[in-house]
């Protein structure tokens, strides 16, 4: 079973249970990542972002998982993977998307360099998250979509607020999301909202102000002091 790679200490019977039974995110091989995403099939793409593409992964038993493949470029050099991984580790709240696995694997591939064939190192990085079936809030608030009644809308608003409160006040080091927008709010089958995409987040200690390197993000959802001065 594929799930044995996901929870290697589980028995075959336990492997049929949901991945949340694992105590910590598990390391997945890149070969397994390709298998559950049908070799990164474009039809499995459920979202794209500044740092990668999200695929729907399906295990043999039908269990689903979201697989975020991070871009393999020298610009990011693994830093975005490490940052988002660290930001997601330890976050446990019903209104925050849960990290359930990861992949960080090197592979030797043939490449041409200065007219010669050489063996280069390609790094495969992926973050595996709980699969949230109803997609992003962005898909449910267009002018064409009128299917949400007030009770559902209120539940979504309240859930987002609870998630933000947890990130700001429920952790030893508060987390500032920095790119909170409808596209980064996911809705599960019960329309419970989950805050996602922590690639731009910052972890804060006791200091109240911090100078950042850049102001990457979505204009319109960033505070002006962050855009103009890179200050939070």
The CA-based angle 41-47-52, given to 5 degrees, is 80
Q: How does 36-75 read in b/e, with b if 16+ C-beta sit within 10 Å?
A: bbeeeeeebebbebebbbbbbbbbeeebebbbbbbeeeee
Percent with pLDDT over 90 in the chain: 32
Architecture field, domain 3-130: 2-Layer Sandwich (3.30)
Catalytic residue among 143, 179, 188, 197: 179
pTM for the structure as a whole: 0.71
- Statement: 137-229 belongs to CATH 1.50.10.10: no
**Mean pLDDT confidence for 1-22:** 39
9 has a pLDDT exceeding 60? no
113 has a pLDDT exceeding 90? no
**DSSP string covering 203-214:** E--S-S--B-S-
Asked if residues 131 and 64 have their Cβ atoms less than 8 Å apart, the reply is yes
179 has a pLDDT exceeding 90? no
Q: What whole-number distance in Å separates Cα of residue 59 and Cα of residue 144?
A: 34
pLDDT tens for residues 57-100?
999 888 999 998 987 654 455 666 777 777 778 789 999 999 99
Q: What whole-number distance in Å separates Cα of residue 59 and Cα of residue 55?
A: 13
Q: What whole-number distance in Å separates Cα of residue 36 and Cα of residue 21?
A: 19
Examine the residue annotation and report whether 179 is marked as an active-site residue of this protein.
Answer: yes
Residue-level length of the chain:
232
pLDDT tens for residues 21-63?
456 888 999 999 999 999 999 999 988 876 778 999 999 888 9
Q: Which band of pLDDT confidence, cut at 50, 70 and 90, is reported for residue 18?
A: very low
Element (H, E) at 112: strand 99-113
Q: Which band of pLDDT confidence, cut at 50, 70 and 90, is reported for residue 146?
A: low
Determine the pLDDT at residue 144. 61
Query: For the chain, what are the domain ranges?
Result: 3-130, 137-229
């Amino acid at each position: 079973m594929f799930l044995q790679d996901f929870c290697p200490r589980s028995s075959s019977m336990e492997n049929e249970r949901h991945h949340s039974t694992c105590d910590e995110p598990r390391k997945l091989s890149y070969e397994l990542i390709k298998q559950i995403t049908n070799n990164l099939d474009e039809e499995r793409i459920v979202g794209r972002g500044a740092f990668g593409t999200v695929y729907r992964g399906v295990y043999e038993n039908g269990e689903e998982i979201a697989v975020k493949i991070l871009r393999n470029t020298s610009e990011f050099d693994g830093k975005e993977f490490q940052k988002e991984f660290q930001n997601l580790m330890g976050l446990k709240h019903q209104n925050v998307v849960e990290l359930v696995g990861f992949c960080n694997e090197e592979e030797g591939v043939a490449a041409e360099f200065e007219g010669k064939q050489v063996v280069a190192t390609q790094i495969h990085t992926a973050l595996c998250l709980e699969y949230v079936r109803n997609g992003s809030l962005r898909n449910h608030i267009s002018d064409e979509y009128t299917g949400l009644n007030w009770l559902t809308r209120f539940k979504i608003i309240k859930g987002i607020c609870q998630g933000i409160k947890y990130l700001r006040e429920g952790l030893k080091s508060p987390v500032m999301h920095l790119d909170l927008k409808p596209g980064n709010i996911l809705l599960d089958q019960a329309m419970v909202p989950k805050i996602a995409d922590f690639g731009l987040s910052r972890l804060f200690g006791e200091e109240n102000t911090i100078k950042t390197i850049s102001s990457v993000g979505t204009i319109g959802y960033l505070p002006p002091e962050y855009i103009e001065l890179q200050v939070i």
